[in-house]
Amino acid sequence: MAGDTTTVTGTLQEVATTYLASLKTAVRQDAQPEVLKFVRWAGPDRELSNMRGHDVAQYAENFPPTVSDAAKRADFVRAFLKWAKDRGLTTENLGTHLRVRKASKSSANAQRDEVQPIYLTKEGHDALVQELDALKQRRPEIQADLARAMADKDFRENAPLDAARNEQGHLEARIREIDGTLRHAVVLDGGAEHPGDIAQIGHVVTIKDLRTGSSKSYTLVNPDEVRSGQGKISIASPVGKAVYQHHAGEEVEVEAPSGTFRVRIEAIASA
Q: 190-270, what's its fold?
A: Chitinase A; domain 3 (3.10.50)
Collect all residues with Cβ–Cβ distance below 8 Å to 136 and sequence separation of at least 6. 175
Tell me whether domains 115-189 and 190-270 share a fold. no
Q: 115-189, what's its fold?
A: Helix Hairpins (1.10.287)
Strand order in the sheet with 215-221: 232-234, 215-221, 203-209, 259-270, 251-256
Best mean pLDDT range from 121-130, 170-179, 201-210, 217-226 = 201-210
pLDDT exceeding 90 applies to what percent of the chain? Answer: 21
Q: Is the pLDDT of residue 43 over 70?
A: yes
Among 1.25.10, 3.30.1050, 1.10.150, 1.10.287, name the CATH number for the domain at 1-114. 1.10.150
- pTM of this structure: 0.58
| Cα 235 from Cα 25, distance rounded (Å) | 34
pLDDT at position 162, please?
A: 76
In our burial notation (b when 16+ CB lie closer than 10 A, e otherwise), range 173-188 reads: bbbebbeebbeebebb
Domains in the chain: boundaries: 1-114, 115-189, 190-270
pLDDT band at 42 (very low <50, low <70, confident <90, very high): confident
Cα Dmax for the chain: 67
pLDDT at position 6, please?
A: 46
| Cα 265 from Cα 251, distance rounded (Å) | 6
